[in-house]
Structure 1
Amino acid sequence: IYAGIYDVRVRAVNAVDVSSPWGYAQSTTLSGKIGKPGTPVSLIATTDVVWAINIQWGFPAGSGDTAYTEIEVATTADGMNPLFLANVPYPGVSYQHGPMPAGIRRWYRARLIDKIGNKGDWTGFVEGASNTNANDLIGDSFQEFIESPDGQALLDPIITDPKALAEDILANYDHVDQQWANFGENSAGILQAQKVAADAEKSVAELRTDVVAQFDQQQAAISEKMTAYADASGGSAIYTLKAGIKYGGTNYDAGMSVAVTINGTEVVTRFAVNANQFVVASGSGNNVFSPFIIRNGQVLINQAFIGEGWIENAMIGSFIQSNNFVSGSAGWRLDKSGLFERNAANGAGRVLDSGVLKLTYDGNGTLRIREGLW
């Protein structure tokens, strides 16, 4: 309790809700806390969480009467116009702000509110950011994908054996049309299968077409599958197209999927490709080229315009420069030779730095400072 003079009164209420007059006790002085609630300690906001920012804090001594921690968030370092973010019930010491895109920066502060509504002082603002590590972001996204229904549909190995494929389809579908050609151990077939079902809990419709061929030990197959599913919690719509061969005793798959699924309360729309090479072709006639290729895990881009980027490591072939660079006049340029040219705004001067010699010129082009080796 807080130190102070306390007054207590009491009354009786009978069975028909009639009240007696109030009876008053003498004022009583009690010792206890003095002043307002304390301030959260060690407030931090992390930078290593994917798609979110974790906020953590501690409690000062004597804060056992805390009701909750109030958190505010601002979009600038000066903390202007902060917004209410959350009330975290005591004794909680963390809050996750998200989901949000990668690379988002925010500033947070916190204060304590006790059980009778007294408010403590705010902490200072602390900065946090959502993770920008490419490995973490890709790993999290891919893990989510492979655990999803469309990920499993795309990455499940395609059946290239004609006999095994026919047995699998006949065991799992209501209606199957087949066409086969056979010559000894060699065979080729087309199978079209349908399945529809509806009951008190769910509805599902599935249509697939498979083409398969085998010559001696070599096998090849293409499978196209469409699945629509709905139940009380949502549903999914998944389309997959997969191709595969068995060559030299080893299976090789490629495919794509287009899907809309529900992950918790989030609706996920996704286009996915499984292949060693992903090629975008452009042009026509004899003028066909590729501006973009993914080959064996490496992304190859001929030309790109990027509004904002986070780059952990970079290798520059010839030079890097600002988009307003004019030698001796505006912008900056770093050449692979090591020469770095910086031009001041409004033609106020420029600096040339070769790594061993630095030259500073004024706006009239007069050399003012030379330092280094010459």
Structure 2
Amino acid sequence: MSCSTDTCGVGGWGGPKPGDPDNNSILTATPAFGGIDVAWTLPTTNPHAVAFTTLYRGILSDFNSAIQIAQVAGDQYYDKSQTPQLIQYYYWIRFTSINGTVGELIGPASAVARPTIDVVLEQLAGRIDAGALSQALKADIDRSQLNFAALQEEIANRTAANAAYGTALEQVQAGMEQVIGLINQEIAIRQEGESALASQVNTVALVSQNNLAAVQTTLQTNITSVGNTVSQIGALYTAKVTVNGLIGGFGIYNDGTEVQAGFDVDTFWIGRTSADKVKPFIIENGVVYMSSAVIKDGTIGIAKIADSIQSTNYSSGLAGWKLTKAGTLELNGTRMQITNSVISVRDDAGVERVRIGTL
């Protein structure tokens, strides 16, 4: 409908009929998992007079190459990807009024679909499996245990030799081709007044010119008393890794009233590094990916459904309910049934008394 707020609804030969909507609308296309969300605002004048919206799609910004893909009663449409390739699609719309008036073309808006959630999880899991952390977790456990046992024996010997000072310090340095390696372990027990602290700090590092890579674990306990009353108590464990100033790690802390655990990382995952290599839970850049979840009670501010949502007892035409992203709704109650084409109401005996839609 080519009309403005001054002329829309006035009518006239070849123009909009009385009550027709205007053509003011904003069309958007947004990437979604496995497809593209296409949305538009309804006209500012007489939006209720829009009978349906015709949606077109093309792979070029030229409308002459576009094809019609849907006629929509609402103001949005989920265009599901038909190919695994990531293609940029262009979209246009036309409004058709309840009087049969066809509006001018609006668009284009374009977007590239995101991969499906299954594909994203597979890609993330593959990248994790190829990373250094996953490879380290699959290292020879027996050999690691032998090295650990030897280290513990050396720590015990050093601690015994320095028992009078309450501190054991082990440090090994090696230089080779401008690279300095350091393995340092400090065990300390200190008491000052009514405060006591016991700690063990282990550091492994390599330095080359201005480059530093280091791993450090800290085990620490502390107690502070005022008179005969303990005013502060805590147990801390942290593991940190740093490379040229980028620091990350994880830790756990207990102060006697609360236990806190935290991870300071960019990507966090839970899963097996062998077998099917599935990573059912991944956090990357603040986004949580889950392949499957059971939630007893959940509160969601905004829910974006990539495919459909349905009740656990849903059976098409028989029981439960289902709502698809495309807007298809089905409700199967004992007395009422609602689908995209029918509203049916039955009495207590199961006899249909009201039917609206397809007969």
TM-score normalised to structure 2 length: 0.48
Structure number with higher helix proportion = 2
TM-score normalised to structure 1 length: 0.46
